[in-house]
């Protein structure tokens, strides 16, 4: 089974040097989406903006998926 590495950019950079064994890109995409949602849920509730990116590499180091989330919360005038 192929191994994929999920690098996180959320103001800090976290380089994944362990990876996950996943069967295909469809599963990789779903895992990236779950990761974004999970990370957004841990942000402080008073944050006005959340910007997170996940870059997924295959075992050769080639980037195969990029997923990003931007959320901006503003008070209505």
Q: What does the alpha-carbon distance between residue 8 and residue 76 come to, in Å, rounded to a whole number?
A: 31
Over range 10-34, report the average pLDDT. Answer: 96
* Chain segment 25-76, per-residue pLDDT in tens: 999 999 999 999 999 998 888 888 999 999 999 999 999 999 999 999 888 9
pTM here is: 0.88
Whole-number Å distance between alpha carbons of 55 and 61: 11
Cα separation of 11 and 13, whole Å?
7
What single string gives the DSSP state of each residue in 24-42? SHHHHHHHHHHHHHHHHHT
pLDDT class of 9 with cuts at 50, 70, 90: very high
């Amino acid at each position: 089974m192929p191994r994929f590495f999920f690098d996180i950019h959320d103001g800090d950079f976290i380089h994944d040097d362990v990876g996950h064994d996943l069967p295909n890109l469809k599963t990789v995409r779903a895992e990236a989406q779950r990761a974004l949602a999970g990370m957004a849920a841990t942000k402080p509730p008073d944050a006005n903006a959340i910007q997170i990116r996940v870059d997924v590499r295959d075992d050769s180091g080639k980037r195969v998926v990029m997923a990003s989330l931007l959320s901006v919360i503003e008070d209505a005038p």
